[in-house]
Amino acid sequence: MRIDVVTIFPGYFEAPLATSMLARAASKGLVEFHVHDLRAFAADRHRTVDDSPFGGGGGMVLKPEPVAAAWEALDLGRGHGIYLTADGRRLDQQTAARLSLQPHLVLLCGHYKGLDERVRRRVADEEISIGDYVLTGGEPAAAVLIDAVTRLVPGVLGNFSSALEDSFHDDLLDCPWYTRPAEYAGEEVPPGLLGGDHEQVQAWRRRQALRRTFERRPDLLETAQLDESERELIDAWSRGSVNE
Ligand code: JA5
């Protein structure tokens, strides 16, 4: 997979792309990252990329021509264009999985009040938000998207972890995890994890994942794949007739 990023802050991406799993994926040749400075495609000697909005009001809007020039010069139109914006469709695991199948993503980071609407429609195949909060620009959202998508590219995850075992793979939150020591600060590790009975461990983890999802993200239970006994357990929790 190839990922191009177009931004007025290319330096923002240095540490995330040079760290841990993303750096390893790039050094293994599984993914290529190319970060481009939008200002390099400005037409004037001041490298202007923004201007005031028609109709007045505060703030600035990213001009269309530097974006169009970057797309032309870098031949980005063949990739799948994504504009990171608070009014985009919310990023979720299903979207990350779908994007991980694309051979070429092009991420465009907005700034100020955003991008002129006309070039936005021309370069963006889709518009994505990472959540309902305001950012100063699209860079943090692009870094999040790169992480979520890249780890799903075949070969990127080691066998220490598998995308199939992720929290959210089955629409539930993760269970609690424990490591040594078996007693810490007066608290024992739950006995269900200690007997070496793998079936028992799997049952304990599943129930804990259900419980945690019930408590923190009940909305996820609407669409989760649950069997009849799991539905009954959740109904019992809802009635308050079982505690854990
Ligand atoms: C703000 C000019 O998903 C959260 C996001 C907030 C935000 C994004 S994505 N882009 C911008 C932006 O501000 O371009």
pLDDT in tens, 117-170: 999 999 999 999 999 999 999 999 999 999 999 999 999 997 555 666 676 767
Specify the pairing of strand 2-7 against strand 61-62.
unpaired
Using CA atoms of 175, 180, 181, 186 in order, give the dihedral in degrees to the nearest 10. -10
Q: Whose CA is nearest to atom 8 of ligand 1?
A: 85
Residue 243 to residue 111: CA distance in whole angstroms: 48
What DSSP state is assigned to residue 171? S
Answer whether 112 contacts ligand 1 (Cβ < 6 A). yes
Residue 118 to residue 97: CA distance in whole angstroms: 29
Specify the pairing of strand 104-109 against strand 2-7.
parallel
Q: Which atom of ligand 1 is nearest to the CA of 111?
A: 2
Using CA atoms of 62, 66, 67, 70 in order, give the dihedral in degrees to the nearest 10. -150
CA within 13 Å, CB half, 106: 20
Distance from the CA of 111 to the center of ligand 1, in angstroms? 7
Distance from the CA of 113 to the center of ligand 1, in angstroms? 9
Which of residues 160 and 242 earns the better pLDDT score?
A: 242
**Band of pLDDT at residue 237, cut at 50, 70 and 90:** very high
Residue 174 to residue 161: CA distance in whole angstroms: 13
* Mutate which of 67, 83, 85 for ligand 1 pocket (most atoms within 8 A of beta carbon): 85
- Write out pLDDT tens, residues 86-117: 999 999 999 999 999 999 999 999 988 999 99
Residue 85 to residue 103: CA distance in whole angstroms: 22
Distance from the CA of 130 to the center of ligand 1, in angstroms? 8
- Write out pLDDT tens, residues 45-58: 999 999 999 999 99
Q: Whose CA is nearest to atom 9 of ligand 1?
A: 85
What was the pLDDT predicted at 165? 66
Distance from the CA of 105 to the center of ligand 1, in angstroms? 18
Contact indicator for 4, 76 with CB cutoff of 8 Å: yes
The pair of three-digit structure tokens given for residue 120, joined into one six-digit string:
């936005």
